[in-house]
Structure 1
Amino acid sequence: MGLFSRKPKLPPAARPPLADDERVLAWAAAGNGEGDGVVVASNLGLWLPGRPHRLGWHEILKAVWSGRELTVTPAERVTERDGYQVVADCPAETYLLVDPGELPHQVRARVTRSVAYTEHHPVPGGAGRVAARRVAGVDGLSWTVRFEPGTPADDEAVLAEADRLVAAARAATAPADA
């Protein structure tokens, strides 16, 4: 491609079922490009081959670009607490991108931009990360706690400390009344 040439448009057959207010930002064929699907970044999230629904940017715990492969670790909701969710890592999904174009940049920028607050804290028997994420197209923040492996996430003392940590973080990040 020349200096000012653009990547071809996403083929209609590969286009995911976008919402009315959703637009494609970047895409890349996954695998060898022969029917392995496409990875599509939109303003609302990431469409991955084999998944019927988009992952919102706030639902991606980690995205790593190796220069050839994009590895995405989605969040899985473990339980709903008062004002936040406890999440855990889903298995990482890796996609070979032969012609990645702008896709890795868009993924990194969008995942990073979704993080409004993140802090690692000790809790009884382990540790956890309190995070507030911006949800594309929604006002306010989505709060989560992700416990480190081995932390007794169902222990009442751990959950009470997580409740306290989230409440403190929310208070510290709340906009001041003018």
Structure 2
Amino acid sequence: MFNLFSRRRRLPADRRPALEPAERVLDWARVADGEEVVVVTDRGLWLPGETARLGWHEVHKAIWSGRDLAVTPAELVEERPGYRVVADGPVRTYLLVDPGDVPHQVRARVTRSVAYTAHHRVPGGGGVRIAARQVRGVDGLTWTVRYDPGTPAGDPRVVATTDDLVTAARTGTDPLL
């Protein structure tokens, strides 16, 4: 369905997710294997089979193959003072029929949510990616870390180094490593 004046496709009412009062639909696309849709809003991504929106700050990675949209959410592993430890959640892949502007909107909004990102080596082997993201409705930045596979994340030296790296990033100073 198209709106004659704006030329934007209008999301069918029966496919509209439970939006917050001021949340706006930016674009949407049908998923090939049914009547489900992927909906892009100014606040996040509504995926088929989910009852809640995935906020832009919760999307770790999104890849567009030209026909499939693969979304990797960040899942909370641990809360530490001043930051959260996250890991990749299961990749969710959707074959989009007439994707419209959905891939572009997803990429732009995920990228726009990232205010800072840096990767560092840590003691004992492995590394950590530190990121600061803008979260709608939250003052300041939300800090997260994601350890590379095989990194001993619970090692006290790794935790101490990570704490120092996040503190340095938050204060705008050079990292210690």
Alignment partner of 1:16 is 2:17: yes
C-alpha displacement of 1:171: 0.2
Alignment partner of 1:129 is 2:107: no
Secondary structure of the corresponding residue to residue 21 of structure 1: coil
C-alpha displacement of 1:139: 2.1
Residue matched to 1:29: 30
1:6-44 CA-to-partner distances (Å, cap 9, x unmatched) read 343111111110011211011001124x33x11011011
- CA separation of 1:23 and 1:5: change in aligned 2, threshold 3 A: closer
Distance in 1 separating the partners of 2:85 and 2:77: 5
Alignment partner of 1:96 is 2:95: yes
Residue matched to 1:146: 146
Matches within 5 A, 1:14-163: 14-32=15-33, 34-35=34-35, 37-124=36-123, 125-163=125-163
TM-score, reference length from structure 1? 0.90
Greater relative CO (CA pairs within 8 A, separation 6+): 1
Contact 1:58 1:133 (C-alpha < 8 Å) held by counterparts: yes
Unaligned runs of 5+ in 1: 174-178
Percent identity between the aligned chains?
64
Size of the aligned set, in residue pairs, is 169
TM-score, reference length from structure 2? 0.91
Distance in 1 separating the partners of 2:158 and 2:49: 36
1:110-145 CA-to-partner distances (Å, cap 9, x unmatched) read 000000000000011210100000112332111000
C-alpha displacement of 1:156: 1.3
Q: Which amino acid aligns with 2:24?
A: R
Give the root-mean-square deviation of aligned CA atoms. Answer: 1.6
C-alpha displacement of 1:5: 7.8
Secondary structure of the corresponding residue to residue 86 of structure 1: strand
Secondary structure of the corresponding residue to residue 48 of structure 2: coil
Unaligned runs of 5+ in 2: none
1:62-87 CA-to-partner distances (Å, cap 9, x unmatched) read 00111101000000000000010000
